[in-house]
Amino acid sequence: MTVSHSAFTLEKTDGDARAGILRTRHGDVPTPVFMPVGTQAAVKSLAPDELRTSGARIILANAYHCYLRPGAEIIERAGGLHGFMSWDRAILTDSGGFQVFSLSKLSRVDDAGYHFASHLDGTRHTFTPESVVALQEALGSDIAMVLDDVAPPDADRDRVADAARRTLGWAERARRAKTRGDQLTFAIVQGATFEDVRRANGRDLVSLDFPGYAIGGLWLGEERASSIAMTRATCDELPAEKPRYLMGVGTPEDLLAGIEAGVDMFDCVYPTRCARHALALTSVGRLNLRNARFADDFTPLDPDCSCAACADFTRAYLAHCMRAGEMLGARLLSLHNITFMIRLAAGARDAILAGRFADYRAERVARFSEGADASRPERT
């Protein structure tokens, strides 16, 4: 079964899980895919060559942070994000809506846009749907997200419905403001955990015929089961021939749950945040390298991984680096954790193409859970 759109080809489904190819001007991206996060135009501690060795085909940068520092003009003069970062593969930029939402004490929202104070120096700024389109066109990303209104997870129905209405209106304005033909633009479905609001917002956005769609406003503190149910409900409303992106997710378990629900693209700071806290994501579970048992463990970090951290170093050495505060430890764990997440998504793709995704998910979750010796950090 092959379903095609100009930017995406759906190659195979296995239940609701999907394998496809996303086409960008900086190369094709096989899906499902995990995208490392380079919030400020840099994936924390890792150079572009290291990201390429991890298997990364697409990374994420954040328009809000790039706007404030160093500024879109400097990045544009450098040849856009690709030239500025020395990254020759695909880049997705977030609109900055979530970042402004997360700084709610410094911002307010109305139908015109987001009005906020910089978290760096307190200067006042406004993001409108049109200005965010222009910003991301200057940044030169391959995929740009439209501005959306994110309702807090504890918001009442009126606030959620208002955010969905505003998100739809902003998407219409963003679509009219677009000038670059070589940049894909994705709309973002909102609705919090009110299923009818979320489904209606999805249908309304689909009518605008964007090249792709994102699922926003989830995994913000609501129950995980509700997050998964809302993800599945949103996917029900999205066209099969276009890519689906679940924003800010996530952990290995959540990535596999999202794929099962029909999602194609994921991003999260989780792998590098774990690395900075000495937590390794491995095929035998989460390993807390501050645990005393690793002090004289001379085996590879992950027997199923060939990244530099696993091929060249032992658990004992990595544990020593983390205890001693040597930045090499966090760098190597970041490389490994990102490699793990990228390969987890790639393995899911292979399993979908082979018609055995349910078995793959069950096997990976079981192995991951049985070997874990540390609890999961909270998602951010």
Residue pair 68/93 in contact (Cβ under 8 Å)? The answer is: no
pLDDT at 235: 98
Q: Around Cβ 31, how many Cβ atoms within 10 Å?
A: 30
| Identified catalytic residue from 94, 149, 204, 302 | 94
Question: What pLDDT, in 10s, does the model give residues 13-71?
Answer: 999 999 999 999 999 999 999 999 999 999 999 999 999 999 999 999 999 999 999 99
Q: Which long-range contacts (CB under 8 A, 24 or more apart) does 222-227 make?
A: 222/153, 222/192, 222/193, 224/254, 226/193, 227/193, 227/254
Query: Which amino acid is present at 85?
Result: M
pLDDT at 299: 98
| Identified catalytic residue from 142, 148, 267, 302 | 267
The answer to whether residue 359 is catalytic is no
Proportion of the chain above pLDDT 70, given as a percent = 96
First and final C-alpha spacing in the chain: 37
Query: In whole numbers, what is the pLDDT of the chain averaged over residues?
Result: 95
pLDDT at 70: 98
Is residue 376 predicted with pLDDT exceeding 50?
no
Proportion of the chain above pLDDT 90, given as a percent = 91
Average pLDDT over residues 129-157: 97
* Domain range annotation of the chain: 3-268, 274-370
Average pLDDT over residues 171-175: 98
The answer to whether residue 267 is catalytic is yes
**Backbone region of residue 90 per phi and psi (left: phi > 0; alpha: psi in -120 to 50; beta: other values):** beta
pLDDT at 184: 98
Does the domain made of 3-268 have the CATH classification 3.40.50.1100?
no
